[in-house]
Amino acid sequence: MISHSRNATRLRASPNFVQALTLDGRAYIAKETEPYHQFWLNERYRILLALFSVRRGLTPQQAIARYYRLTQVEPSAAENRRLVKAIADMQASEVLISSHADTSRYDESMANYYLTYRPFPSALTAHMVKAAGIESHTRILDLAGGPGDLAVQLAQVSDAVELMELSQGFLAAARARADALGVKLETIHESCNRLHYHDAHYDVLTIAQAIHWLDDVLLCRGICRLLAPNGSFFVIQSIIEVDDKHPLAYLLGHNSILGAKTPQPFIEDVRPLWRRLGLLFDALDSPGVEHVDVRYAAESLSQKIVPVDIKLFTQVRPFDQGFAQGFLTPKHIQATGLEPNAFWQDLAARCADATPAQLLGTHHWAVMQFQRGGVAMDFLEIAKRQAQSIEFTLGTA
Ligand SMILES: C[S@@+](CC[C@H](N)C(=O)[O-])C[C@H]1O[C@@H](n2cnc3c(N)ncnc32)[C@H](O)[C@@H]1O
């Protein structure tokens, strides 16, 4: 029996599952990360899942009432039992989660370290504001924006900034920071792999240091759907470079225990992503089909998204214990095979023994710009440009 309490927990569709159709049209949902659970959905489950796919979620009681209204099925005790069972099944398999549940490995306790030791460089934001002509009414969505440093910087220029992120903890930190600074920021707890289910249009979309976590095909499908005429999509990629004598070289260096990196000029790290995204937009973007929007003139709807610019930056900065605390999640530490306390004690001792100069390294940044209806730029031309050197200052949580 469903509780009629006003305080019944609100449930919502977990952002970790995507809904898909088989070739013969049967609906299923699959977890988009390991271990790739799959669930077949009959009509009852499919409708319930759609009803629970709203931002604030619904109580089971509300979902059942809406199910009856939508389907016009005659309410009965037997149908109630089936609906309650369907909701319980989806809850047990974590397809439905509590509206407040966090499915991310980033919790709120990391947010302060993140905001302090991994501030988003304001020079990159200034570049995007200028390149896209961002003004107070520009509609902006920052994707996988972490605790929201970039989004909050953008919110100081525009009143229409939204932040989409998987970690509830990071979203709460971003809201608190926006409130403290008196800027407007809308937050969306959602997987960016589900962007193409959203309907709004944006003049600017950004994604910083996160595209490697996402399914880039799904992401680009979403961008194709949401990017307004003349709108820009910025992809920020970064690489840390420390020499082999750096105290954290075992984590951040070329032979990191978290995965080896090929030593090469930074522009060679940028090239494959720039090329891949350009090809994906060329293949996936069907302007005018997905962008049926009466606000836009027909000719602006026929323009494709093309790669238009890359701006490079270098930043010399300390990579120290604080940075590690804003960078490494318990999952990273698990991957090292070390016990967490021992891991952090060892790391602290390595940093304590080092001079400030020994803790320095270089953070390389690239801001790639893709624009609907822009003029495509040749990579070889861009590769000749010098990187701009920028300062590092600690952020504020
Ligand atoms: C390295 S952080 C980058 C955060 C921020 N953009 C920045 O530049 O500091 C990666 C972020 O991606 C988020 N993330 C990972 N997978 C995601 C997904 N499928 N949808 C939304 N956010 C996701 C993580 O929660 C994390 O906050």
Check residue 3 and give its pLDDT: 44
Using CA atoms, how far apart are residues 7 and 98, in angstroms rounded to an integer? Answer: 13
Distance from Cα 283 to the centre of ligand 1, integer Å: 25
The verdict on the CB of residue 86 being under 6 Å from ligand 1 is: no
pLDDT band at 194; cut points 50, 70, 90: confident
The verdict on the CB of residue 315 being under 6 Å from ligand 1 is: no
Q: Please answer whether residues 154 and 122 qualify as being in contact, where contact means their C-beta atoms are separated by less than 8 angstroms.
A: no
Testing ligand 1's pocket by substitution, the residue of 167, 197, 237, 258 carrying the most ligand atoms inside 8 A of its CB is: 167
Return the residue whose CA atom lies nearest to atom 15 of ligand 1: 213
The verdict on the CB of residue 208 being under 6 Å from ligand 1 is: yes
Check residue 99 and give its pLDDT: 85
**182 contact partners, CB below 8 Å, separation of at least 6:** none
The verdict on the CB of residue 174 being under 6 Å from ligand 1 is: no
256, pLDDT greater than 60: yes
Give the ligand 1 atom nearest the CA of 106: 25
Q: What is the pTM of this model?
A: 0.84
Check residue 153 and give its pLDDT: 98
Using CA atoms, how far apart are residues 155 and 136, in angstroms rounded to an integer? Answer: 9
Give the ligand 1 atom nearest the CA of 142: 6
Name which of 226, 169, 181 is nearest 203 in CA terms: 226
The verdict on the CB of residue 115 being under 6 Å from ligand 1 is: no
The verdict on the CB of residue 226 being under 6 Å from ligand 1 is: no
Distance from Cα 218 to the centre of ligand 1, integer Å: 15
* Tens digits of residue pLDDT in 112-155: 999 999 999 999 999 999 999 999 999 999 999 999 999 999 99
* Tens digits of residue pLDDT in 261-281: 888 899 999 999 999 999 999
Return the residue whose CA atom lies nearest to atom 18 of ligand 1: 191
What b/e string do you get for 60-97 counting C-beta neighbours within 10 Å, with b at 16 or more?
bebbbebbeeeeeeeeeeebeeebeebbeebbeeebbb
Q: Please answer whether residues 215 and 276 qualify as being in contact, where contact means their C-beta atoms are separated by less than 8 angstroms.
A: no
Give the ligand 1 atom nearest the CA of 16: 19
